[in-house]
Amino acid sequence: MVQGFDPDSDGSAALVSEDDEPGRAMRVAHALRAREGDEFAKPGNLVEVRFVKGQSLSLTAARLLALMILTAGGDAWQPIAHKMRKADIRRGHKGNERITDMLEELHRTLFAVDDLSWRGRKATKRFSLIQSSREELEEEGAESGWIEWEFTPDARRLIRESETYAVLNRQAVLGFRSVYALRLYEMGALRIHRRQSTWRGDMTALRAALGIAPEIYSDFAQLRRKVLERAKAEIDQLAHFTVEWREIRRGRAVIEVEFQFVAKDAPDQLATVAEHERHTVGRRARREDAVESLVEAAEVALPSAPSPAPARTARPTTSSGSKPAAAAKPATNGAVHFPTGSLMYERGPFADIARQHGGGWDKDLIANAYREQMGDRLRALNGTKLVKSWTGFCQAYAARRGRP
């Protein structure tokens, strides 16, 4: 799973000049868009934006906003209209009435950021993210239509100036069933590659960050059970990291919460990739059941079966039902496998991935650690699954060790 392009960054934000050059977030978004994968960059300034008291986005509207940012890519800061098919939003629903509701919700919702007044004093700035939108009125029987929208000037300024970014996975975003899990996932993705991958805030800041209305879950025990525990369960299953939290108390009252985000190692990354490819039906049951073994996770991540082979090469069977030795090694069919030698002169993608995501560590050092961690399971991986597994391992390696 691809998770960033500058592992040496400490995540600190800096204002950019007032010219038309976008910050690092948009440059990363442009690069990810060119790869045409499931990963996309959400500017850190948008992740950190607060909801105005009493307002928050529903899960469906939050997903739509994420898809808008994915679609706009590195052009999100430009004063232009962006376009997206309704079919990419519906996800199997036949009607488009939900899209209308989501667009109107995005128009109504106000966000807040810290700013300065005209006198140079601290102030709170309130604004909306969507300036205008157009939705095609389809003829009866039409199967698809388009929406187009423009971000507000305030939103474009935040996007352009953002030097930090959270790299999100589209399948994970669409897989969450709790809007609080989605918000916490974005907060974690923004911080996972920092030297201090934590978030800490008092109860007011926590509610503002997650969009929890002040009148609900007034008791922290309820908030823990209904929000934090459920969000953690989904994130641990679908994200490229896990989350833990620590409660800071004054007497018996919880006054602050500190979240710690920890990158998954390679086997857990494989299980996450496999879960993204499984049907959402039964996901909660799988999440609440016993944790699968690493061997099972690796087997789930095996590449899809090749085209049927001629009868003479069909896998033999035995009367005892035992697995023949020849069947233990899957057919390669020309698929790319992880190199056995040095990556110094490797011509495939593995050296480039180690250079981009390995935090500056020696490529062969990371490769040897990867081979040792994966063991025999490495022979079963090839193609896209192998690239995602190797990328995730490089990111976890750099996150655990910091800079060399």
Lowest mean pLDDT, pick from 220-234, 265-279, 290-304? 290-304
pLDDT of 154 reads 93
Q: Give the range among 38-47, 245-254, 317-326, 372-381 with minimum mean pLDDT.
A: 317-326
Q: Which residues pair with 85 in a beta bridge?
A: 146
φ, ψ of residue 193 in degrees (nearest 5): -100, 10
What is the band of 18 on the pLDDT scale with cuts at 50, 70, 90? very low
More confident residue, 242 or 361: 242
**CB under 8 Å to 180, separation ≥6 — which residues?**
210, 211, 212, 227, 230, 231
Residue 287 has pLDDT above 70, yes or no: yes
List the structure tokens of 198: 């934590």
In sign, the C-alpha dihedral spanning 320, 326, 332, 337 is positive
In this predicted structure, what is the pLDDT of residue 144? 66
pLDDT tens digits, one per residue of 98-112: 888 999 999 999 998
Give the model's pLDDT for residue 351.
Answer: 85
CA dihedral 266, 172, 66, 217 (to 10 degrees): -110
What gap in Å lies between CA 356 and CA 360, rounded to an integer? 8
Where residue 218 falls among pLDDT bands split at 50, 70, 90?
A: confident
pLDDT category, 29, cuts 50, 70, 90? Answer: very high
**pLDDT above 50: residue 343:** yes
Q: For residue 280, which phi and psi values (nearest 5 degrees)?
A: -65, -25
pLDDT of residue 269: 80
- How many whole angstroms separate alpha carbon 222 and alpha carbon 254? 12
pLDDT averaged over every residue in the chain: 79
Residue 151 has a pLDDT of 96
Task: Give the whole-angstrom CA distance, residue 92 versus residue 176.
Answer: 16
pLDDT tens string 79-137? 999 999 888 887 644 556 688 899 999 999 999 888 999 999 999 999 999 999 999 87
Among the residue ranges 44-53, 175-184, 315-324, the one predicted with the least confidence is: 315-324
Mean pLDDT of 291-303: 40
pLDDT for res 329: 38
pLDDT at 302: 41
Instruction: Check if the beta carbon of residue 242 is closer than 8 Å to that of residue 270.
Output: no
- Each residue of 162-188: pLDDT tens digit? 999 999 999 999 999 999 999 999 999
Q: Indicate whether 402 pLDDT > 80.
A: no
pLDDT (mean) for 272-276? 81
Is it the case that residue 401 has pLDDT exceeding 80? no
Q: What per-residue confidence (pLDDT) applies to 72?
A: 93
Higher pLDDT, 133 or 326: 133
* Cα separations in angstroms, 109 against 72, 131, 148, 327, 354: 20, 12, 18, 57, 41
202-236 burial, b if ≥16 CB within 10 A, otherwise e? ebeebbbbbbbeeeebeebeebbeebbeebbbbbb
232-244 average pLDDT score = 93
Confidence class for position 399, pLDDT limits 50, 70, 90: confident
DSSP string, 141-196: T----EEEEEE-HHHHHHHHH---EEEEEHHHHHH-S-HHHHHHHHHHHHHTTSSS
Confidence of residue 374 (pLDDT cuts 50, 70, 90): confident
